[in-house]
Amino acid sequence: MQKLCFLAFLSFLLFSCSKNDTPNDATDDDQIITDDMPMGGGDDDPIVSFTPCEGGMAGEYPCNGYDLLARISLADFSATSANDIWGWTDPDTGKEYALIGLDNGTAFVDISDTENLIYLGKLPTATTNSPWRDIKVYENHAIIGSEAAGHGMQIFNLAQLRNVVNPPGTFSSTTRYTGFGNSHNIVVNEESGFAYPVGTARNDDFNGGVHFIDIQNPSGPLAAGGYGGNGYTHDAQVVTYNGPDADYAGSEILIGANESRVVIVDVSDKENPVNISTIQYSNIGYTHQGWFTEDQRYFLLGDETDEINSGFNSRTLVFDLSDLDTPVLSATYLGETTAIDHNGYVKGDEYFLANYSAGLRVLDISDIANMNISEKAFFDTFPQNDTPLFDGVWSIYPYFESGKIIISDISSGLFVVQKSN
């Protein structure tokens, strides 16, 4: 099961109508914007604007508590599938931007005025097209990896988005790091200034585990080691720890989803990462992705195939990490549908879950200490069904101060939603 999410792409083809490493260095690309790139689309795929959630629907989309602000289709992006998504708020202007991964590159959209979304342009893939791309942000730079062979890590100065003439344009990387080839995800700890590509080639120096890259100078990324003691890492979160376990106060802690288990590793000393503990649980399908609560006591985990293999409704596992050396499974939440869970993120007392065919689901975790979790809202970008298949919402980004949430739908493109008044 080298890349479980390969099943997602196969299912996308069926239901929607639907590693090679390179030398350890960085290469500089010109920071330019070329002639306009056609937006694609047409009368059949207009850019959709505000549609309120009324009577359980926002136009054609089932909803509860969230309005559709705007949407841009894949045709408008001249792409055939979407994947990851992240956001950036310009600290100088306050403008908000969606950074959406596509099969053929990364698109940048100014979402500040949702009545007038501006598709600014695309950074093409570094090598070949791929259904998998992952994006994070550090110091006003997009950090981008892909499963495309030889892709490495693109670094793009987002300040270029301030002065785009005649959008959409075609962008070039500010820098491209080629110390690895493919990657499945990119993790960034903004406090430490390190990027952690995961899901690289299984036969590389770190067994497909985690690469450590110093990006404190984004234009000059530097290799700083890695960790592969638990094999292939599919996804991860890295934090500067300030949770309840005083033994690790101030340490840089990685929690990795490693296919058949969760691993907790102290990566503070890049030359000597230390495994703290591993977590296993019943009915393991594919340990996929998880996120800390803001107090770093609980970790909410999604397994990508347990719904298929075991017949669960969407299952979220809650681990109590008060003691990082001895994690405890404290609760299991089963969702309202049988859809597969994908990526989930915590903001305050809410857990925002990309739930594939069931869309975005918003869980109330305000009483998680008493193991009370409930669904409070949703927005379903895939109205066809809520069955366990790999289509619909790939990921979401809920961290804009405005309250806007951006959603990437594999076969439908970009959605911008916001809590109903």
| Residues 129-173 pLDDT 10s | 999 999 999 999 999 999 999 999 999 999 999 999 999 999 999
Could you tell me if residue 36 is inside a domain? no
The predicted structure's pLDDT at residue 44 = 42
Residue 231 gets the label, from left (phi > 0), alpha (psi -120 to 50) or beta, of left
Calculate the CA dihedral of residues 348, 349, 350, 351 and round it to 10 degrees.
Answer: 90
**Long-range own/partner contacts, residues 86-93 (CB < 8 A, 24 or more apart):** 86/135, 86/136, 86/137, 86/142, 86/397, 87/137, 87/397, 87/399, 87/400, 87/406, 88/137, 88/140, 88/142, 88/158, 89/400, 89/401, 90/140, 90/158, 90/159, 90/161, 90/162, 91/140, 92/162, 93/162
Mean pLDDT of 100-126: 97
Mean pLDDT of 317-332: 98
The predicted structure's pLDDT at residue 22 = 34
Could you tell me if residue 319 is inside a domain? yes
The single residue listed with the structure tokens 């234009």 is: 219
| pTM beyond 0.75 | yes
Q: Is the pLDDT of residue 3 over 80?
A: no
Domain containing 268 — which CATH number? 2.130.10.10
Q: Is the pLDDT of residue 338 over 50?
A: yes
Q: Is the pLDDT of residue 31 over 70?
A: no
Q: What is the mean pLDDT of the chain?
A: 91
The predicted structure's pLDDT at residue 68 = 98
The DSSP H or E segment spanning 34 is: none
Question: Which range marks the domain in which residue 67 is found?
Answer: 6-14+46-419
Task: Give phi and psi for 344, each to the nearest 5.
Answer: -135, 145
Mean pLDDT of 397-415: 98
* 341, 358 contact by CB (below 8 A): no
Band (pLDDT 50/70/90 cuts) for residue 47 is low
Q: Is the pLDDT of residue 413 over 50?
A: yes
Question: What's the domain count of the chain?
Answer: 1
Residue 332 gets the label, from left (phi > 0), alpha (psi -120 to 50) or beta, of beta
For a pLDDT cut of 70, what percent of the chain falls above it?
A: 89
Model pLDDT for residues 271-300, shown as the tens digit of each residue: 999 999 999 999 999 999 999 999 999 999
Q: Is the pLDDT of residue 10 over 90?
A: no
Mean pLDDT of 209-224: 98
Could you tell me if residue 20 is inside a domain? no
Could you tell me if residue 318 is inside a domain? yes
The predicted structure's pLDDT at residue 8 = 46
Could you tell me if residue 334 is inside a domain? yes
Model pLDDT for residues 242-265, shown as the tens digit of each residue: 999 999 999 999 999 999 999 999
For a pLDDT cut of 90, what percent of the chain falls above it?
A: 88
Band (pLDDT 50/70/90 cuts) for residue 38 is very low
Using CA atoms, how far apart are residues 11 and 311, in angstroms rounded to an integer?
A: 18
Using CA atoms, how far apart are residues 121 and 118, in angstroms rounded to an integer?
A: 9
Could you tell me if residue 326 is inside a domain? yes
The predicted structure's pLDDT at residue 39 = 33
Q: Is the pLDDT of residue 407 over 70?
A: yes
Q: Is the pLDDT of residue 35 over 50?
A: no
Could you tell me if residue 279 is inside a domain? yes
Mean pLDDT of 225-229: 97
Could you tell me if residue 21 is inside a domain? no
Q: Is the pLDDT of residue 405 over 70?
A: yes
Band (pLDDT 50/70/90 cuts) for residue 228 is very high
